[in-house]
Copies of this chain bind each other. A is one copy, B any other.
Amino acid sequence: MGVARETSEVGRGLPVAVDAMGGDKAPGQIVEGACQAARELGIPVLLVGDGDYLARYAAEPGVAVQAASEVVGMDEDPGRAVRVKRDSSLARCAEAVRDGHACAMVSAGNTGAAMASALLRMGRLSGVARPAIATVIPVPGSTPTVLLDSGANVDCTPQMLVQFAQMGQVLATERFGIVEPRVGLLSIGEEPTKGNALVKEVHALLAGGAAGPQVRFIGNVEGRDVMTDHVDVVVTDGFTGNVVLKTLEGGVKAVVGGVLAALTADEAVKEAARSVLPALSPLADELDPDSYGGAVLLGVNGVCVISHGSSGARAVVNAIRVAHHASEEHLVRRLESVIASTQVAAARG
């Protein structure tokens, strides 16, 4: 707990630790994005990774370098990687946050290993049963939807989902400035009686106020609501959340691919399409996961942003911006406070 307090309070001058070796396009695109964030956003960065490779960037303005001799592979077993590779760039990033040398960490590497590193090195926030991954889903023409858990915990208890509701509400407020975010429980019908055994129990808890007065629970929502303006935070278990996330990814890709295929089918259409494609580019930008700066691991004692494995420089810039903002806005302290408030209430009640 102490570390997070310190981190937040002295955070303004601290760099964002960036795992230079994590991601399909590491280190090239990752380093490029980090240098760009330092240069263009004025956010100091600490590049962590291969010392020889990174040495040449140490002179860049706002960029510091820390050598780490090991790399966690994208498909490596997370538990083993964290146990064995003690000098990995990922572990060193998490330690930089823990030790107050960085205000936040960003990695586009192995998601499971990033989670495990953050959890083991930074520790869990007091009162949190299990950290969750919160992902941001674009909603064309509106504020995005926060979806959690999107993959950290495949089998969940009802109490875990109640905390996800609390943590998701805090993130929606911090990241998008939504004052009273509408929190919905993902189910297969709006009625409280709809859903599997887990969802029915969680519905009863949330409807009964178990998440505290800060959480504005609007009841069950359905898959079709995720990409709409009907809800700001969608709460679900990590299995369903991950399936939703990837289903949307695949669905959006299939439709966008279909549109592009249709518009390039023959020369006449191609010619006509040339003048409409620019009109579609803001939408393409809005739907691009790179615009959203990655997922956030909520419930650990520090800011940890996990970017898509395919992140390029632009995604890294956005992830660093998001991580820095979360630190500036005291995300961790806010999470701690909302979790503590209901624990006090539960102890009294």
List residues of chain A with CB under 8 Å of any chain B CB: 139-141, 151, 154-155, 186, 188, 195-197, 199, 222-228, 237-240, 242-259, 261-263, 265, 269, 272-273, 275-276, 279-280, 282-283, 286-287
Smallest CB–CB gap between A250 and chain B, Å? 3
How far apart sit A226 and B242, CA to CA, in the bound complex (Å)? Answer: 14
Residue on B nearest A142 in the bound complex, by CB: B254
Residues of B within 8 A of A188 (CB): 151, 154, 238-239, 242-243, 246
Closest CB-CB distance, A142 to chain B, in whole Å? 10
Measured between alpha carbons, how far is A235 from B247 in the docked complex, in Å?
A: 14
Among B253, B254, B263, which residue has its beta carbon within 8 angstroms of that of A280? B263
Assembled-state Cα–Cα distance A336/B249 (Å): 37
Contact in complex: A223, B243 (CB < 8 Å): yes
Could you tell me if B287 and A276 are in contact, using CB atoms closer than 8 angstroms? no
Number of copies: 2
Which residues in B have their C-beta under 8 angstroms from that of A141?
258, 261
Question: Nearest Cβ in chain B — how far from A194, in angstroms?
Answer: 8
Q: Are B276 and A251 in contact (CB under 8 A)?
A: no
A286 surroundings in chain B (CB, below 8 A): 258
Note all chain B residues with C-beta closer than 8 A to A257.
Answer: 140
Residues of chain B within 8 A (CB-CB) of A273 are 276, 279
Q: How far is the CA of A107 from the CA of B148 in the complex (A)?
A: 36
> In the assembly, what is the distance between CA of A261 and CA of B263, in Å?
17
List 13 contacting pairs A-B, 8 Å CB cutoff, sorted by A. A139-B254, A140-B254, A140-B258, A141-B261, A195-B239, A199-B239, A223-B243, A224-B246, A251-B252, A255-B287, A258-B283, A258-B286, A262-B279
Q: Which of A195, A240, A255 has the most CB of B within 10 A?
A: A255
Identify A223's interface contact among B196, B197, B237, B249, CB under 8 A: B249
Apart from A188-B239, A276-B276, what 16 extra A-B contacts exist at CB < 8 Å? Answer: A151-B188, A155-B196, A188-B242, A188-B243, A223-B242, A223-B246, A224-B249, A226-B251, A227-B251, A247-B248, A258-B287, A261-B283, A262-B282, A262-B283, A272-B275, A273-B276
Q: Which B residues are in CB contact (< 8 Å) with A272?
A: 272, 275-276
